[in-house]
Every structure is written in C-alpha cells, then in structure tokens.
Chains A and B, each alone.
Chain A
Amino acid sequence: MFAYISRRLGMMLLIVFGASFMVYNLQAISSNPLEAFAESTEKNKEQQMARLIRELNLDVPPPVRYFIWFRGIIAGLWGQLDLGQTRDNFMVMDQIAAAIPITFRLVIASTILAILLGITIGMITAIRQYSRFDYTMTFVSFLLFSLPIFWVAVLLKEYMAIQFNDFLVNPQIPIELVVIIGLIIGFIFAGIAGGTRKRFLTIFAGVSVLAIGLLFGMSSSSWFTDPGLGIIGVGIMSFVAAAVTTQLSTGLDNKASLRTALAAASVVTISYYPMQLLLGPESGLLSVFLAFSITIALSSIIGYFMDTEDRKVNIRVGVLTAFVGTFVLFIDRSMQEFNAYMFSDAIGGRPVSTLGQANDVLSPEQVGSFWISGLDAVMHLVLPTVALTLVSFAGYVRFSRGSLLEVLNMDYIRTARAKGLTERTVITRHAMRNAMLPLTTILVNDFAGVIGGAIITESIFQWSGMGSLFNQALRSYDLNLLMGVFIIGAVLTVVANLVADLLYGVVDPRIRIRK
C-alpha cells in the first residue's frame, strides 16, 4: 500500500511538472508582458520596463525561466511554497489564498444541490424506465447538457432577479400562472409516482389542487415579502419528512421505526418555541449547531429505547427525520428576518442580487447579525447557484440512471427478488448501494474540478474568486499569477484522482489495489 501510494505520488509530480511546463511555455512564448509599454508615453517607461525585466526574470529564455518558477513549487514539498509575484508586486500566494474561499462558497451549494437532485432524479428515471417521467427527464437532461451557462445566466438575471424584484413590489401572481405552475408541479409528482393511468391521474389532480391552493394563499397574503412557515408549517413538514424517511428505509409497516420517526417529528414541532429563544437575534453559528445537536440527540435516544431489536435502524430513521425537521425550522427562522432585510436601506426592496458576492453598503450591525448577513450571502448566491446547478445536474442524472439500470440487470438482483424481498429493500439495499460505487469517482473529481472551473460564472456574476484571477492574469500577461491558478487546479485534479482510486478500493471490496 505504501509503495503504491508513493509510486503514484511520484507519478503525480511528473504529470504536474509536464503539464505546467507545457502551459508555461505556451503562454511565455506567445505573449509579451512588455507589450503594454509599447504605446506608453510615461517618462519613467524605461525604468518600469527594467524593473519588470529584473523582477520577473524576463531576460531569461522561457524554458529556463520555467525552472526558476518550478523551484518554488518543489519548495512546497517541505512547506515553503513560493508561487512568485504578480506584475504589481503582490505575492501570488496571498491573492490565491484570498480567492479560494470565495470560489468555494460560489460552487459548494450548487455542487451539492446538483449531486443530490441529479442522483435522485437519475435513480427514479431508472426505476421508472420508459415511463413518461423518464422520457421527459431524458429530454430535459439533454437540453441542459446543450445549454451554454452564460446564456442561462443572462436569462436568470432578467427573469429571476430583475423581474422577480419588480414582482415583489406588488406580489400578486396572476391566477392563470398559479394554475399553470400548479399543473406542472402535479405532473412532476404524478410522473415520479408512476403506476397505472388511474393512479397517475389521481395523484396529478390531488397534487395540482394542493399546489394551486397553496400558491393562491401565498399570493393573496403577503407571503413573498414576509415569508415564514410558523409552527404549523414546520410541524407539517417534519411529519412529512418522518413518513418519507420511514417509507424509504424500512417501510411504513415497521411500527417501531414509524413511531420513532413520528416522535422525532414531534420533538422538532414541540421545540419550535423554545428554539426561537435559542436562535434569537443575537445568536450565531454555535446556537444553530446546538439546536441541531439537541433534536438529533433526543431522537436518537428515542430510537434507542423504542425497541430492543433493530436499534441501529430506528436511530437512523429518527436522526434523519430530526435533521430534516430542524433544517426546516432553521429555514423558517431565517425567513423571519427576510422582511427586515428586504426593506432595509441597503437593499431597498430588491433582494435578489445580480452582481457580486456580498452587499457592501450593509450597516455594521447588519453585517454583525448572523441572520441578516446569512440572508445577504444567500441572496447573492441564488442566481449563480441556480445557473451552475442547471448546467451540471444533467450529467449526474444520466450517469446515475445508467449505473442503476446496469445494476438492476445483475443476477444478484434477481436472486434478491426471488428470495421474496420487497421491491423497496431490493432497490435501496441491493441495487442503489452498488449503483453508487462508480459515482464515487465522479464525485471526488468534480469536487476538485469546481475550484478552478467557475471561470465563466465568476465573470458573469462578477465574483472575485479563482476564475476572475485567471481572467485578470491572462489579460494582463501576468504569467506567475496565471501559473498559480493553473497549478492549484492541476494539483487538486491529480490528488482527487488518487483519492478516488483509494476510496474505490475501500467502498468496493472487489477492487484490490496492486501492491
């Protein structure tokens, strides 16, 4: 194992060396950092050029200059990483260190959303292969595959930000639109549920009526400018979560786990008012963490004492329910601040932001408040997150669908069915777990790719992360900065490849890593 990893690490160094040598020389030979001075009429032009030549070693030919730069990378192996300096005498390391958290914030939510949504929908389409839902989602995922993200982003800016903000001035949805949205929601749910035509129509009608009613209620009250769920909303959502988690993991027939889930949902609902005190205006991340810990701990205790058998399963159902319920409670708590946030001077009633990563005219006490600054971050994240999610989730849909279909054709699935296991057990225990195996590789690689991969999104929404650094480096012929961004991406990619291979060996015992 040790020999394998060290051999891989050596190979990784070689690959990073080769790739960076290629990019460095490509850029160094074809661009001239002194070009900007050609038309300059400044008096100290000569001195500036001389300074730049001295500091960036421009008198050394590129292939040799590369090794001067690479020395700093090698020094990174014993902790003294040196990426050189930019044209304006800033350290590249500092610039990148400031940019990484911003890029990370930009992409993390959309990556997680895309993975969760993509895998869920992909698996449902595989289970309901050749159904209406399958055909619709196949078409939608092909469409999303073909969408240029910059085009989507401009549309989102117009419709989700500018026009939505206009809508918030007088938040009344026209009745036709309410009906159309309700019907679409009904179609989606009925499609997921599947089954016979009668069942399809029943679910379609039920969900549509419910959605239309809900939307109508939201539209006629001032819900959009002063949102919230209240104890009733949190309660209902928690009990729905309880039913869904039980149905998915053990089935509603399992009385012990159903009771655990219901008890967990009750814990969340009962703790609604006490939680409002805990999560007061002065509270912070610690209180939120505490809130989650309390409900999760309580429900795992309930799960433990519910039945002497299957304790692990009961605890899992309880904890999942409590987590979802508390999350809904947390969202409700955030929504309570929305009205204050929206009508504050800095926002002026137009909450969805189109540019930047934070509002810089918020008052100091607003910045200090966990809830208000959190809302501000979310409102800036909405558009880029939706754009990135839309573009990347199609890949997960196709991949997880194919993966699950392949597994469902295996002999051991037939064996499981022949044993008389319920379809739920066959799918969740036997098929899904095996279908997830090849996904680990993709997931790990995507997490590494996101850091360097949001150049377009950052440019459209004017975030100052890695992508905008790269943009700036390329335009100003700043070789060291460009290579800094590049090397971070390259190292992350090779490390992710190694991690993915090692992880695969762990999760799939059939794979043995060669000694």
Chain B
Amino acid sequence: MADLEKNNSQFSEKAENEIELKETAGLSQGQIILRRFVRHKAAMISVFGLLFVILFSFSASGIHLGTEDNPITVKGWWPYTIDDIDPEGAITSMCENGIPGCPTMDFLPDFIDGDGMGFGAHPLGMDQIGTDYLALVVRGAEQSIMVMFIVGFMGLIIGTVVGAIAGFYGGIVDAILMRVTDMFLVTPTLIIGAVIGFQFGNLGVIPLAIMLGFFAWMGLARFVRTDFLTLREREFVDAARVAGASNRRIIFKHILPNAMGIIIVAGTLLMSGAILIESALSFLGFGVRAPDVSLGLLISKYQDTFSVAPFLFWWPGLFIISIALFVNFIGDGLRDAFDPRQKKRISLKERFKSSTMKVKA
C-alpha cells in the first residue's frame, strides 16, 4: 500500500489530463457539465430533496394565487386547511404529557411504546386554537419557496442585464451603472427589506417578493460584469465582430453562454439568501403578516412556547433549513460542474489503470 502511494505521487499531471480527456471525448460542453454535476453526490441528493419538498408542499396545501377578492385556488390533497379551526374537536383531547394538540406521528412500533406506528390525524400536531400544523407548515413552505424563486429569478434577470451592459460597453455606461449598483449595495438588504416589507407585507407574499427582487440583483451584476470584461477581449468575440455580428448578437449568442456558469451559481446562492431574508423579515414582523402564514412568522409566534410545545417551533425551522441547505448544495455542485479548472478526483485505481494502459500502448 505504501509503495503504491509512493508510485502514485509520481504520476504526472499529464496522465490525469488524459483520463479527463478520454472521458469527455465526443461530448458537448453541456453534457460534460451535466456529467460533472451528476457525479456530485451531495448535489444530486439535494436536487431530489428539494424536488420532494416542493412537490410535497405545493400538492399538500394546494395552490393559492390571485388577490383576496378573487382568489385562484387549487385544493391540495391534505384534508385540513389553515382556516379550519379544530375540525374534530380534537384539541380538547390531551396527550399523555398534558399538552393540547401534540403530534400524532409515531414511528416507534408496537413492541417499544405500546401503540402502533402511523401518522395519525395530525402528524405535526395542532396549534393553540386547533388548526392542523402540517397545513400551516406546508403553506408556509409554499410561500417561502415562491419568494425564493421570484426573488432569484428577478435578481438573475436584472443582474444579468445590468452586468452584461456594463461589462460589454464599458466606459461611461459602465461607470454610471456600477455607481448605481454601489448605491443599491450600500443599503443593507435587511434594512431595505424591512422598509419594503413593512409597507408591502400585508399585500401578500407575491408583491413582497417582487419588491424584494428589485433589491437583490447587485451582487450578481458585479459578477457578470467582471466576467463580461474578460470575455469581451477574447478572440472569438473579435471573430464574431469581423464576421459582422451586431452587438446584440455578440452579447446573447457569444458572450452570455460563456458567462452562464457564473450566472447560475450566483443565482442559486441568491435564492438561498432570499429564503433566509424572507423568513427573517416575517419573524421581525416586517414580512408576511397574519392571517397569512410564513415559516418565519410561525417561528416568531411559537418561540415563547418552546418549553411547552417544542414541535410548534421545530418544524418550520427544519423546513427553512432543509430548503436552504438543499439549494446551497445544488449551488456547490453547479459551481464544481461549471468550473473549467475543476478536476475530478481521480481514484488510485483509475490512475493505476491509465498508467498501465499507457505502458502497454
């Protein structure tokens, strides 16, 4: 074993490159990136985890859009909604430790605690007035996910446009756009978010998300600009220009695809930031307001009852953490996949195999 390691360190970087080249021969750039991404275990688990959370929340609570007067709703499969107050009078039935509305979920089989496994009528319990807590939590998760995607999408679009224009045209356009970016940047996100949320929070979650989106693009714009500054000096841009391509065509067809990696990665980070900002604002009372539901709002409402009914506090937090964690891991996987300097870790066996093959050849 020790010998093998010693030998192994002598293999040149060239051999590693050859393995890499052999694996990617005949594949398009997109396929190579997809391959690298699929190989990233944590990221792949996160993709499925996030999909599960999204599908579960949206299908369980249904879809709620539109305004208060003419709502567009699709009913979900979960029998209770956030408006049902104590559907079966179950809140009066105490659990063994005297807590009203405790969770009915039980994963311990019969022979350990004497009653069977199962979800029961209210798996996550009920809040103090008897509303099913699973209905509240999935509704909150649904709202947070919507905020996440709207803010992420808006930040992506505005940031890319501003960054691309500033980076491509340079000079006075660049100077003006970057000073505007700085102007937005000196405003702390939480402060501007609170000012916005305090005025728009009562309108519901979508207007709030759209307003937040207008203040979430600055970091991305900076990244895109830096990337454009270097890309526009490259030969392929000159070639396109000589061939008579318009500026618009050069930006969209030639430079933007090359900057896509950084845009997507920064976009995912933006999304995980958005979910934390939204829940923080709702926690402080500057975001989504009652009677509407949000994960941050649920936590703030039940923080004082932690010692009595900890389940009311744990679940919304676990949803926030899992969504943010999944998004962060996906972002990490994407970064590794898009980074051209990134080399796959080449296992001992592969190195050994490639070197022996070379000897034979």
Contact = CB atoms under 8 A, between A and B. Distances in A.
B194 A470 contact: yes
A19 B186 CA distance: 7
B307 interface: yes
A148 B272 contact: no
A149 B299 contact: no
Interface stretch (B90-98, B163-171, B229-237, B277-285): B277-285
B325 interface: yes
B298 to A, nearest CB: 11
Interface string A3-20: 000000001001110110
Interface stretch (B49-57, B123-131, B175-183): B175-183
Contact-residue bracket for chain B: 35 or more
B99 interface: no
A22 B187 contact: yes
B320 A19 contact: no
Contacts of B184: 19, 22
Given A145-B272, A146-B272, A162-B307, A489 B191 contact: yes
Contacts of B223: none
Residue of A139, A145, A486 most packed against chain B (CB within 10 A): A145
Given A143-B321, A455-B194, A148 B296 contact: yes
Interface in A18-73: 18-19, 22-23, 26-27, 30-31
B311 interface: no
A486 B272 contact: no
Nearest to B327: A146
| Secondary structure of the B contact surface, majority rule | helix
Contacts of A18: 179-180, 183
A78 interface: no
Nearest to A17: B183
Given A26-B196, A453-B190, A154 B303 contact: yes
Contacts of A22: 183-184, 187
Given A15-B186, A456-B283, A151 B306 contact: no
A494 interface: yes
Given A154-B306, A493-B186, A146 B195 contact: no
B321 A147 contact: yes
Contact of A146 (B194, B300, B303, B325): B325
A145 B328 contact: yes
Given A142-B329, A151-B299, A453 B188 contact: yes
A130 interface: yes
Contact of A471 (B182, B284, B307, B325): B284
A143 B299 CA distance: 19
B158 interface: no
Interface residues of A, number: 44
A158 to B, nearest CB: 5
Contacts of A14: 179
A292 B186 CA distance: 40
B332 interface: yes
A150 interface: yes
Nearest to B194: A474
B149 interface: no
Nearest to A471: B284
B236 to A, nearest CB: 26
Contact of B321 (A146, A474, A486): A146
B211 to A, nearest CB: 10
A26 B195 contact: yes
Contacts of B307: 158, 162
Contact of A151 (B196, B320, B328): B320
A159 to B, nearest CB: 10
A266 interface: no
A31 B280 contact: no
Contacts of B72: none
B328 A474 contact: no
Interface string B145-169: 0000000000000000000000000
B186 A150 contact: no
A23 B192 contact: yes
B186 A148 contact: no
Contacts of B300: 150
A23 B279 CA distance: 22
Interface in B206-235: none
A486 B183 contact: no
Given A18-B183, A489-B191, A143 B313 contact: no
A18 B184 CA distance: 9
Contact of A145 (B186, B195, B199, B324): B324
Contacts of B352: none
Given A18-B183, A154-B299, A474-B286, A455 B190 contact: yes
A119 interface: no
Given A151-B320, A154-B313, A23 B199 contact: no
B190 A456 contact: yes
B190 A474 contact: no
Interface in A456-496: 456, 459, 470-471, 474-475, 482, 485-486, 489-490, 493-494
B321 A148 contact: yes
A151 B318 CA distance: 10
B183 A149 contact: no
Contacts of B280: 148-150, 456
Contacts of A251: none
A158 B299 contact: no
A490 B182 CA distance: 10
A449 interface: yes
A452 interface: yes
B276 interface: yes
A254 to B, nearest CB: 29
B76 interface: no
A151 B317 contact: yes
Interface string B288-322: 00000000100110010011000001000100110
B198 A449 contact: no
Contact of A158 (B186, B306, B324): B306
For the complex of A and B, list the 7 residue pairs with the smallest distance between their C-beta atoms, beginning with the closest. A146-B324, A18-B183, A30-B199, A146-B325, A151-B317, A490-B186, A154-B303
Given A142-B325, A158-B306, 11 more contacts: A18-B180, A19-B183, A23-B191, A130-B345, A142-B332, A150-B300, A470-B194, A471-B284, A474-B286, A486-B191, A489-B186
9 contacts: A18-B183, A26-B195, A139-B42, A142-B329, A145-B325, A148-B280, A148-B321, A151-B321, A455-B194
Interface of A: 11, 14-16, 18-19, 22-23, 26-27, 30-31, 130, 139, 142-143, 145-151, 154, 157-158, 162, 449, 452-453, 455-456, 459, 470-471, 474-475, 482, 485-486, 489-490, 493-494
